[in-house]
Amino acid sequence: MARPDPIPAYEDNYIWLLRDGPATLVVDPGDAAPVIARLGKTRPTAILITHHHWDHIDGVPELHARWPDVPIFAPDDPRIPIATQRVSDGDVVEIGPWRFEAIAVPGHTQTQVAYSGEGLVFCGDSMFSLGCGRLFEGTPAQMLDSLDRLAALPGDTLLCCTHEYTAANARFALAVEPGNTALEQRAAQVASLRANNAATLPSTIDSERACNPFLRVDSPEILQSLAKHLGHPPEGRVEAFAALRSWKDGFR
């Protein structure tokens, strides 16, 4: 199976590349130059877009101008006018040898989709390693539901997130669940990867289930931390998730 390759862009973005023989998939090209450089003499087979934010789509016009016949898959959102194919929840996207299913993952934005298949998931800014996207447009209940859907994928699924936020996320995760030994190990691994300027991604769904506090709002230790932070125990998973998300928003 082809291993997805993260191309660094801007401050902390990753544009994902997947290759198998002549087939090449480009996901969330926020910038064209690093993609064109990496493609060399080859061309993309298709472009996938998870959501409308500039750091995920600003490279698309230049790629489209260069390869006008390459299909551009994106959620049905007028803020992504350049798309040639619209996808919504449950749609199957077939590209070269690959087959992906679109999963609606609202929360960070209303129309965000993840593309799941071939043992991996391109999840945009919905889930990050040890974290999740900020709630710019959706509600905590929506985001929690989106994360639950991603967390239900097979444990060995490779999680291809679009930002290198893992080290900062690890600091918050350790603050809310200091007794989690799997998290401690992941944090140490992340520190050594970052010390070598290496990507901490892809992660796996198994690792996130064990370490990511936003998938662990049922953990007794996290509930205890939240009760301390809020001054009262959260009532139910949605309140726990909402409290965790807003705590993280202000965490430095």
| Residues near Fe ion (CB under 5 A) | 53, 55, 125
CB 235 to Zn ion: min, Å: 30
Taking the C-alpha atoms of residue 163 and residue 134, their distance in angstroms, rounded to an integer, is 12
| Segment lying near Zn ion (by CB under 5 A), choices 52-60, 185-193, 211-219, 238-246 | 52-60
Taking the C-alpha atoms of residue 208 and residue 218, their distance in angstroms, rounded to an integer, is 14
CB 219 to Fe ion: min, Å: 27
Which residue, 49 or 174, is less far from Zn ion as judged by CB?
Answer: 49
CB 56 to Fe ion: min, Å: 6
The number of angstroms, rounded, from the C-alpha of 225 to the middle of its chain's C-alpha atoms is 26
CB 219 to Zn ion: min, Å: 27
Distances (CA, A) of 236 to 69, 127, 149, 211, 212: 49, 21, 18, 20, 18
3-state secondary structure 152-178: CCCCCCEEEECECCHHHHHHHHHHHCC
CB 113 to Zn ion: min, Å: 13
Q: Is 53 in the site for Zn ion (CB under 5 A)?
A: yes
Taking the C-alpha atoms of residue 189 and residue 103, their distance in angstroms, rounded to an integer, is 30
Which residue, 6 or 234, is less far from Zn ion as judged by CB?
Answer: 6
Which residue, 80 or 226, is less far from Fe ion as judged by CB?
Answer: 80
CB 125 to Zn ion: min, Å: 4
CB 50 to Zn ion: min, Å: 8
Angle at the Cα of 238 (from 75 to 163), degrees rounded to 5?
Answer: 45
Hey, which residues does 128 pair with through a beta bridge?
131
| Segment lying near Zn ion (by CB under 5 A), choices 1-9, 53-61, 62-70, 95-103 | 53-61
Which residue, 6 or 234, is less far from Fe ion as judged by CB?
Answer: 6
Taking the C-alpha atoms of residue 119 and residue 55, their distance in angstroms, rounded to an integer, is 25
Binding string, residues 191-230; x marks residues near Zn ion by CB under 5 A? ----------------------------------------
Alpha-helical runs (H) found in 47-176: 54-57, 60-66, 140-151, 166-176
Given candidates 28, 31, 125, 208, which one binds Zn ion under the rule CB under 5 A? 125
Which residue, 55 or 177, is less far from Fe ion as judged by CB?
Answer: 55
| Segment lying near Zn ion (by CB under 5 A), choices 8-16, 47-55, 92-100, 238-246 | 47-55
31 touches, from Zn ion, Fe ion, none (C-beta below 5 to 8 Å by class): none
Taking the C-alpha atoms of residue 16 and residue 12, their distance in angstroms, rounded to an integer, is 13
The answer to whether the beta carbons of residues 143 and 174 sit under 8 Å apart is no
For Zn ion, the binding residues (CB under 5 A) are 53, 125
